[in-house]
């Protein structure tokens, strides 16, 4: 571990690869000899053209995107997409299906309801406090789209396999597991992600949208809320979040060139998850909160025998350089976010601490 750097298990903003941070640091005052910081160059310059075009090209290669898909960089986070999606893609007289797997799904549902759009909750795991991914799904074959949240950061659940929706387009919020595993993009009409959990810093949202959805966008909604505004201008209708896009470009480069692609990224993430869940399951002291077949490989949520012990656990861990282990304020408990940039040695350091804490407090 680099001097003064802790093992970062924050849920977002979250860990970035050290190699990326070092490259940013090296070029921050003078980007590629231009005499300006990356935060100072014009978004209309050749330097930034090269950055955004490379980010798009790497996204296309990593996900195997064909020409039907547009890669967009937007502001407003994933939360803005909750409103934009029904605004752009759900016309009067149509209905959309939503699957409710927790806080972020519920927020997406609420934003559609605010606009008086017609939606159905086709499945929900609310009956057991969102501890699982529902298997019984009542889909409408005529729905305009079905919306899912691929990974639930708060409850620690994740879709291991995506639902068969037939001809109904899937739109997925992938804020916390984008680029963590290969995807069959033919299954999706749109995926989107706030960058700050797995591919970059806060302030930029990546959206990948298929052309048949873009063809639905009406011209009667505000310009800045239309996906076509950005798809027609390479995400540069106005000034984009340049530094965020630059960081995403470097993270994608790291996944592609240092890790070796999404298959290898997925294998590394499985190894981290297996090590941490394996210890929790066999401890007799820590208790996972998600059903085994629905567990997230990005956010490992668990409880200790008492809230007092949980507070002590979080404090003692931080004192030893293990940060970000407090659970979301809405649910309590503990949570270790082990996104792409979290290394196996950080997970092993956490397991070692958890064993020592259990031996002393069990």
* Residues acting as catalytic residues: 104, 173, 197
Integer angstrom CA distances of residue 280 from 149, 157, 188, 317: 25, 16, 34, 16
Q: What is the dihedral of CA 89, 233, 16, 23, to 10 degrees?
A: 170
- Kindly state the DSSP code that residue 225 receives in the 8-state scheme: G
Q: What is the dihedral of CA 177, 148, 126, 175, to 10 degrees?
A: 30
Report which secondary-structure segment, H or E, holds 197.
none
Rounded Cα gap, residues 176 and 220, in angstroms: 32
Report the relative pairing of strands 334-337 and 299-303 from DSSP bridges: antiparallel
The residues, ordered by sequence, that sit 6+ positions from 339 with a Cβ below 8 Å of its Cβ are: 14, 15, 176, 180, 197, 198, 298
Alpha-helix runs per DSSP H in the chain: 18-27, 46-63, 77-89, 103-114, 211-214, 227-231, 242-253, 262-283, 307-319, 344-361
| Token digits of residue 143 | 């729905």
Its sign, for the CA torsion 69, 178, 159, 95, is negative
Residues 241, 196 contacting (CB under 8 angstroms): no
Q: Residue 298: which of 11, 34, 63 has the closest Cα?
A: 11
Rounded Cα gap, residues 15 and 50, in angstroms: 25
Q: Which residue has the tokens 């106005």?
A: 238
| Token digits of residue 87 | 């605004």
């Amino acid at each position: 571990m680099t001097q003064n750097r802790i093992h970062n298990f924050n849920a977002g903003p979250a860990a970035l690869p050290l190699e990326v941070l070092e490259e940013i640091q090296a070029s921050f005052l003078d980007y590629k000899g231009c005499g300006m910081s990356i935060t100072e160059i014009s978004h209309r310059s050749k330097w930034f053209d090269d950055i955004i075009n490379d980010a798009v090209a790497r996204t296309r290669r990593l996900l195997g995107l064909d020409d039907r898909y547009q890669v967009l960089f937007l502001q407003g986070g994933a939360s803005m997409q909750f409103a934009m999606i029904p605004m752009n893609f759900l016309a009067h007289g149509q209905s959309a299906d939503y699957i409710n797997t927790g806080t972020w799904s519920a927020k997406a549902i609420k934003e559609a309801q605010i606009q008086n759009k017609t939606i159905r909750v086709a499945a929900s795991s609310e009956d057991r406090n969102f501890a699982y991914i529902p298997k019984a799904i009542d889909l409408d074959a005529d729905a305009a789209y079905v919306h899912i949240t691929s990974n639930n950061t708060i409850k620690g659940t994740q879709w291991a396999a995506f639902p068969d929706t037939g001809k109904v387009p899937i739109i997925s919020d992938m804020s916390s597991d984008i680029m963590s595993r290969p995807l069959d993009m033919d299954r999706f009409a749109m995926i989107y992600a706030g960058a700050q959990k797995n591919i970059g810093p806060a302030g930029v949202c990546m959206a990948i949208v298929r052309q048949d959805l873009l063809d639905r966008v009406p011209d009667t909604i505000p310009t800045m809320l239309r996906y076509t505004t950005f798809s027609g201008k390479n995400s540069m209708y106005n000034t984009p979040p340049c530094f965020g896009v630059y960081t995403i470009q470097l993270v994608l480069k790291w996944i592609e060139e240092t890790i070796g692609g999404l298959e290898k990224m997925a294998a590394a993430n499985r190894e981290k998850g297996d090590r941490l869940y394996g210890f929790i399951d066999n401890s007799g002291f820590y208790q996972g909160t998600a059903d085994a077949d629905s567990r997230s490989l990005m956010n490992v949520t668990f409880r200790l025998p008492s809230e007092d012990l949980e507070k002590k656990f979080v404090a003692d861990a931080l004192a030893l350089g293990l940060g970000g282990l407090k659970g979301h304020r809405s649910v309590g408990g503990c949570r270790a976010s082990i996104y792409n940039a979290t290394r196996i040695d950080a997970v092993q350091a956490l397991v070692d601490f958890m064993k020592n804490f259990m031996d002393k407090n069990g």
